Amino acid sequence: MSAVEVSHAVKRFGAVAALHDVSVDFADGEFFGLLGPSGSGKTTLLRAIAGFFELDAGDIRIGGVPVGDRPVHRREIGMVFQNYALFPHLTVRDNIGFGLAVRGRPRSEIDAEVKRMLALVQLSGLEARKPRQLSGGQQQRVALARALVTRPRVLLLDEPLGALDKRLRQEMQVELKQIQRRIGITTIFVTHDQEEALTLSDRIAILNEGRILQIGRPAEVYERPETAFAASFLGDANFLDGRVLDRGSVAVEGLGRIPVAGALPEAGATVRLAVRPEKFAIEPAGAGNANDANRIAGVVRGAIYSGTSITYRVELRAPAAGGEARTLTVFRQNLAAEPLAIGTAVELSWSSANTILLRS
């Protein structure tokens, strides 16, 4: 059963369509990432589910019940805001207990629940502190505990880790996922950080300009992006434009016949292919190790050393149709002691399984 269903949601702010006929079902207990650049509508979608505004059209159900006419405080949601929005005048205990206090629960019950939540987020002993006396990571945990204490139907996270530094963010990612698994709550989170989306999500939706472009498991969306936008927003991609030759191959100017799996349009149609930078094998020309189906000759024009990997910019020997130079980005794990020097003639090869056919 779907915990949250959004169907044909439309929201305009003035002339701008922030949500443009968006439909998505969030399954019970899943961790769902909404990924997109700023202005893509991901936050608008999250806030629509929370109920901060009414949709111009479309319908939202939480637990099967339409909530269009329910104000935020009656939607039984939990939300963690980007800057946490902790109540500065209340202690950690009263922040976490707030949701129960406004429901008029007895003091003893609130105390017990707060204690349970503090143990869950590993903050026991800090209940008397004020938010400003906590570190960023601790504030984040309080915000999470506060959102979960009322046992909401869905947990909404708005860039929950955006304000933390990188190391802390990675720790919190692991912890967030563990907590979510333990209590099994349906969680929808907004991020513009692709790595975060891949790490945390059971499923991802990629949004752009108020539309959902693709929904799928992280590996699906990463390995088989359907659009050029999805390919370049989630990860990096090299694009090759070509013309359909027959049912199983595409001609790319200067590179010859590239085998492509999947449903190609009729012969003669122009298509765009993508290959991820890490899918290439790169070696000096003539080394003779490459046995993949596709090979291209090129010259190293740039190399960026970043510890675990090296990013090469390889200019292809064969120019594009218009005659201008073409360069591909290639990632190579840092196995060899010496990176390839600039100017080295190289051969790139990749498996046909890694050629992605994009929808135009």
Partner 1 sequence: MTGGSAWGKWTVRGYLLLTLLFLYLPIVVMTLMAFNRSPLYQLPFEFDFVWFRALAGNDRLIQAGLNSVGLAAANMVVATGIGTLAAIALDRYRIRGKALLQILLFPPITIPWLIIGTSMLIFFFWIGIGRGLHAMLLGHVALSLPYVIVVVGARLKGGSHQLEEAAATLGATPWQAFWRVSLPVMAPGVVAAGLFAFAVSFDQFVISYFLAPPGVSTLPVEIYAAIRKGFTPEINAISALIILVSMGLMLVFARLYRFGGER
Smallest separation (angstroms) from partner 1 to the CB of 251: 55
User: Contacting partner 1 (CB under 8 A), which of 66, 68, 73, 265?
Assistant: 73
Binding segment toward partner 1, per CB under 8 A, in 70-78, 204-212, 279-287, 340-348:
70-78
By CB under 8 A, tell whether 268 contacts partner 1.
no
For position 307 contacting partner 1 by CB under 8 A, the verdict is no
Name which of residues 171 to 190 contact partner 1 (CB under 8 A).
Answer: none
Interface with partner 1, residue 4, by CB under 8 A = no
- Does residue 91 touch partner 1 according to CB under 8 A? no
Count of residues touching partner 1 (by CB under 8 A): 28
Q: How far is the CB of 147 from partner 1 (least distance, A)?
A: 7
Q: Is 148 or 275 the residue whose CB approaches partner 1 more closely?
A: 148
Alpha-carbon span 312 to 300, nearest angstrom: 7
| Nearer to partner 1 (CB atom), residue 80 or residue 240 | 80
What is the CB neighbour count within 10 angstroms for residue 356? 24
List Cβ neighbours of 21 (8 Å cut-off, separation of 6 or more): 8, 9, 10, 58, 211
Tell the smallest beta-carbon distance from residue 77 to partner 1 (Å).
6
- Binding to partner 1, residues 130-149 (CB under 8 A): 132, 146-147
Interface pick for partner 1 out of 77, 121, 145, 221 (rule CB under 8 A)? 77
Site residues for partner 1 per CB under 8 A = 50, 52, 71-79, 81, 83, 85-89, 98-99, 101-103, 132, 146-147, 150, 156
